[in-house]
Amino acid sequence: MQDLEIAKKRLNEKGLALSIVKNGKIIFEAASNGISGFLEAIEKFGDELEGASVTDRVTGKAIALLCVYAKVKKVYAIILSKAAKSVFEEYAVYYEWKNLVENILNADRTGICPFEKLAKEISDPKSAYRRLETLQKSLGHGRGKQMSGKREQFISEEDRELKRIREIKLQEFMERKLEMSTQPAHITDSNFNEIVNKHPLALIDFWAEWCAPCRALAPTIEELASEYSGKAFIGKLDVDENPETAELFQVLSIPTLIIMKGGKEVDRIVGCVQKGHIQAALKKHMGQ
């Protein structure tokens, strides 16, 4: 199996954000989105990254410049910015992508990612590495959850909390032995517009099978589908199978819950949250 295919498989099966493979061996992996993982890989392995294959969930110009600086051979991105695409073409780096977007937004989607803002004015890969690393330190970005070729796994506090929430939710779900009269509907790229325009109020769960927090939230979504039957439409959209809608709404992190009213987005909840938080949001928009 080629290096890029190995990295792709790891990205999907393990729910990673970054995977770097060379000569059939996993060099570096990271589970958290952002530029910190790639910067750490460069810091740790330096010249060893030359000729490697990289898969990355979200690749903007900043990471594209770092790929060129590290002399990687091939890149695959689930979300690729047009600026990153131009960098790869300029430096003749082989690349593939699943979704092409105009810009990479920051975590709360209020503007362009700060690293992308900086990269916009940089053309030299070496300069990009120095300046992006400086920006990362100035912003106080911590290291994400990384895994080396030795399969060492470092579980963050956030991951532990998600696991705890999942166990609690699953236990509550089993204890109550809820028999759902209504299940969340399956939403696709082809029927999304029809559904959200048909229903006055709709909550769409953007998820993926490999996403542990998504699976942790699933029992809650099923409960909501039953409780809000006749009041609000509850549906689920697999972002891997339906990338067009996920790209249209700039869904960069999952699970993401989007509340639609009259066919337009009125609210967004990101992450595995408590049921009450979702109910409060629905109640707010039901009352408007």
**191 contacts 221 by C-beta, under 8 angstroms:** no
Please report, to the nearest 10 degrees, the dihedral formed by the alpha carbons of residues 85, 86, 87, 88 taken in order.
50
Q: Which residues contact 59 (CB under 8 A, 6 or more apart)?
A: 75, 77, 79, 80, 81, 84, 97
Q: Which residue has tokens 């910067």?
A: 39
Count the residues in the chain. 288
Own/partner long-range contacts of 79-88 (Cβ < 8 Å, ≥24 apart): 79/104, 79/247, 79/252, 81/116, 83/116, 83/119, 83/120, 84/59, 84/60, 86/61, 87/61, 88/64
Q: Which of 67, 113, 211, 272 is catalytic?
A: 211
Tokens of 229: 């039957």
Asked if 214 is an active-site residue, the reply is: yes
The three-point CA angle 221-208-210 to 5° equals 115
CA 21 to chain centre: 20
Element (DSSP H or E) covering residue 81: strand 74-81
Q: Which amino acid is at 28?
A: F
Q: Which amino acid is at 185?
A: A
Asked if 113 is an active-site residue, the reply is: no
Q: What is the DSSP letter of 180?
A: -
Q: What is the largest CA-CA distance in the chain?
A: 60
* Helix, strand or coil, per DSSP, at residue 113: coil
Q: Cite the active site residues.
A: 211, 214
